[in-house]
A and B are shown apart, each in its own frame.
Chain A
Amino acid sequence: MKVAVLIKQTPDTAELPKITVDEARSGEVGATMVLNPWDEFAVEEAIDLADRFSCESAAISLGRVGETDALKHALAMGVDSGLLVDEQVIGDGGEWETAEALAEAVKIADGEEGVSLVLAGKMSVDGNSGVIYAGVACKLGWDLLVNVTRIVDIVDGKLIAEQVFEGGQETVETPLPVVVSVAKEINEPRYPSFMGIRKASRAQIPVLGEDELQVGPSSTVRWEGMSKPEPERVEVRIFEGSTVEEKAEQLADALLAEKVI
């Protein structure tokens, strides 16, 4: 068995507010790039599972050739190997091309052991869609568990896990292979170790380009009208009334109309 973890390099969350429309449109972002924070939980789980079940772990990321900070971080944390998919293979493609490229990379990462578990974080802090792992599951034809808070066991070719949704928590069993997105409750990501850092800094990360994998084009959405949401700079509305109850009633109505409750 081999565990693959899908990761993305995203802007440092502290710098997200500074992202401009031009940067968002072109994808040429000037911010410090780091391992997507949600993916840290998936990387931690991959390393932990590799320890628990004596198997190998591999991190896979789609991005620009030469931009390997996220993969190096994963290696420094303790993932066994990294694989970069050159984002040029998807051209101008969107989510499903990305999913297909990652699914193809999972098959290539297979090696002799066979990847039977793919882990992913909840979403990226830049794309915010949380659909890529679902796409990867579709493209691989594997089952998908979402928002998993604990991997209880892997036994007899089955994964036993706990998953949480708005209404509660379930324990589920599903046969491998399976794609799992993890919730932040699943673990506490470790810091890179010095040994991991040395390994990561010396690692040559293989790149999968158009020679290794092809993705069919299928443009599905057009992005238009990007803008920077400006914080509303309105004068405070003070509710007047002869009694405090009157003021409170008006405030309650205003807040319900804002749809924040």
Chain B
Amino acid sequence: MSILVWIELNDGRVVTNCWELLAKAKELAFELETTSAALLIGDEVDEAARMALTYGADTVYAAADATLSRFRLQPYAALAEQAVERAGARAFLTNGSIRGGTLAATVACRQKAGIAANASDLRVEEGELVAVRTIYSGNIRAELRFESRLAVASVRPRSFPMPEPVGSSGAIEMLDAVLDEDEIREKVTDFRAAEVGEIGLTDAHIIVSGGRGVAADPPKGFELVGELAETLGAALGASRAAVDAGYIPYKHQVGQTGKTVGPDLYIACGISGAIQHLAGMGNSKIIVAINKDRDAPIFERAKYGIVDDLFEAVPALTAAFRKRLA
């Protein structure tokens, strides 16, 4: 019996969200009076396996082979099923990435297991695992309990806090029966690592926007706002006032006559929050306002605020994040 977590590797490096999940798995395992386990698949996994032990895995099931250097569903799913059986897994958890979701679904379907896709929380209630997720595009929240022997969930990144590594006491077990290359149908013929490019407003998880508040020195103002956006991996937005004044091109405009956005975080710098701007970003999960005017309407929608000049506050915030994200 154990809670098994797939530790995803990207080009040989661990996707760090998986450590959050592994720490959560350890917590759940404790409540369910079972153990936590990690699954590592790749061409070279020793280092990652040792790290998995320090992040709380009681056992690491590992498979290392040249055929496993890139994610391919056929061999990966076969190994995951093997690990599920070896570990007598009660739950199999993956990071809710594109591949994590695919692996979870495939293992769940083959094992006739219930699945909670894109779960945002996991907990134990009355000795049962409960998964929380939303449906109808975030408009209904639901809880799932599992009726199958195995419970499977893919979990949204950043659902749990990032743990600190602790000392390790677990063991590494190697999985066997890796497929030969000629048994694997899918061939990867080319790979290009993701480029860090400009992030589009409508796809962005974080948006940092500038408004009329930059008027004292518009180029400098948007440079500062842009630096904050870059530091956070955010898209750069603007209010209509800033666009109309020619401070920044129209493609950055958020609002009634610009783009409608709904990021996890919206940082409004020097934006008063006119109703037409709110119409375009009011669905943002967390709104932060940086404005000199405490009475600006943006503060009625904001969860956090700084009342100060953006020319001072924005670089200070950039510096604070650089320190923390380094």
Is there a contact between chains A and B in the complex with CB atoms less than 8 Å apart?
A: yes
A residues near B, CB below 8 A? 11, 13, 16-17, 19, 21, 24, 94-96, 99, 125-131, 134-135, 137-139, 143-147, 160, 164-175, 218-229, 232, 234, 236-239, 244-245, 247-249, 251-256, 258-261
Sample 26 A-B pairs with CB under 8 A, ordered by A number.
A95-B105, A96-B112, A99-B109, A125-B136, A129-B117, A146-B73, A166-B15, A166-B194, A172-B187, A174-B185, A174-B186, A220-B146, A222-B144, A223-B143, A227-B141, A229-B139, A237-B305, A244-B312, A245-B320, A252-B320, A255-B286, A260-B206, A261-B206, A261-B232, A261-B265, A261-B325
- How far does the alpha carbon of A167 sit from the alpha carbon of B304 in the complex, in Å? 32
- How far does the alpha carbon of A248 sit from the alpha carbon of B139 in the complex, in Å? 32
- If over half of A's interface residues share one DSSP class (helix, strand or loop), that class is named, otherwise mixed; here it is mixed
Interface residue? B216 (CB, 8 A):
no
B residues near A, CB below 8 A? 10-11, 15, 70-71, 73-74, 97-99, 101-102, 104-106, 108-110, 112-118, 133-148, 158-159, 161, 185-194, 205-206, 232, 264-265, 285-286, 288-289, 294, 299-300, 302-309, 312-313, 316-317, 319-321, 324-325
- How far does the alpha carbon of A130 sit from the alpha carbon of B101 in the complex, in Å? 8
Are the CB atoms of B304 and A236 closer together than 8 Å?
Answer: yes
Residue of A nearest to B266 (CB): A260
- How far does the alpha carbon of A244 sit from the alpha carbon of B10 in the complex, in Å? 39
Are the CB atoms of B105 and A251 closer together than 8 Å?
Answer: no
Residue of B nearest to A122 (CB): B98
Are the CB atoms of B316 and A248 closer together than 8 Å?
Answer: yes
- How far does the alpha carbon of A150 sit from the alpha carbon of B267 in the complex, in Å? 35
Are the CB atoms of B142 and A94 closer together than 8 Å?
Answer: no
Nearest-CB distance from A186 to chain B (Å)? Answer: 14
Q: Which residues of B contact A127 (CB under 8 A)?
A: 135
Q: Closest 3 A-B residue pairs measured CB to CB? A: A220-B114, A134-B105, A248-B316
Nearest-CB distance from A134 to chain B (Å)? Answer: 4
- How far does the alpha carbon of A171 sit from the alpha carbon of B133 in the complex, in Å? 33
Q: Which residues of B contact A219 (CB under 8 A)?
A: 147
Nearest-CB distance from A169 to chain B (Å)? Answer: 5
Are the CB atoms of B186 and A135 closer together than 8 Å?
Answer: no
Known: A166-B97, A225-B142, A248-B313. A134 touches B189 (CB 8 A): no
- Taking a contact as CB atoms closer than 8 A, the residue among B10, B11, B70, B320 that contacts A248 in the complex is B320
Known: A11-B136, A138-B109, A171-B188. A223 touches B286 (CB 8 A): no
Are the CB atoms of A143 and B143 closer together than 8 Å?
Answer: no
Known: A224-B143, A245-B316. A131 touches B117 (CB 8 A): yes
Are the CB atoms of A255 and B188 closer together than 8 Å?
Answer: no
Nearest-CB distance from A172 to chain B (Å)? Answer: 5
Residue among A175, A221, A239 having the largest count of chain B Cβ atoms under 10 Å: A221
Residue of B nearest to A239 (CB): B306
Are the CB atoms of B117 and A236 closer together than 8 Å?
Answer: no
Are the CB atoms of B109 and A24 closer together than 8 Å?
Answer: no
Q: A131-B117, A226-B140 are in contact. List 9 more A-B contacts (CB 8 A).
A: A17-B139, A130-B118, A135-B105, A146-B73, A164-B98, A166-B98, A244-B313, A245-B320, A248-B317
Are the CB atoms of A221 and B305 closer together than 8 Å?
Answer: no
Q: Which residues of B contact A258 (CB under 8 A)?
A: 265, 286
Nearest-CB distance from A251 to chain B (Å)? Answer: 6
Are the CB atoms of A170 and B190 closer together than 8 Å?
Answer: yes
Q: Which residues of B contact A245 (CB under 8 A)?
A: 316, 319-320
- Taking a contact as CB atoms closer than 8 A, the residue among B190, B194, B304 that contacts A251 in the complex is B304
Q: Which residues of A contact B191 (CB under 8 A)?
A: 168-171
- Taking a contact as CB atoms closer than 8 A, the residue among A16, A130, A167 that contacts B11 in the complex is A167
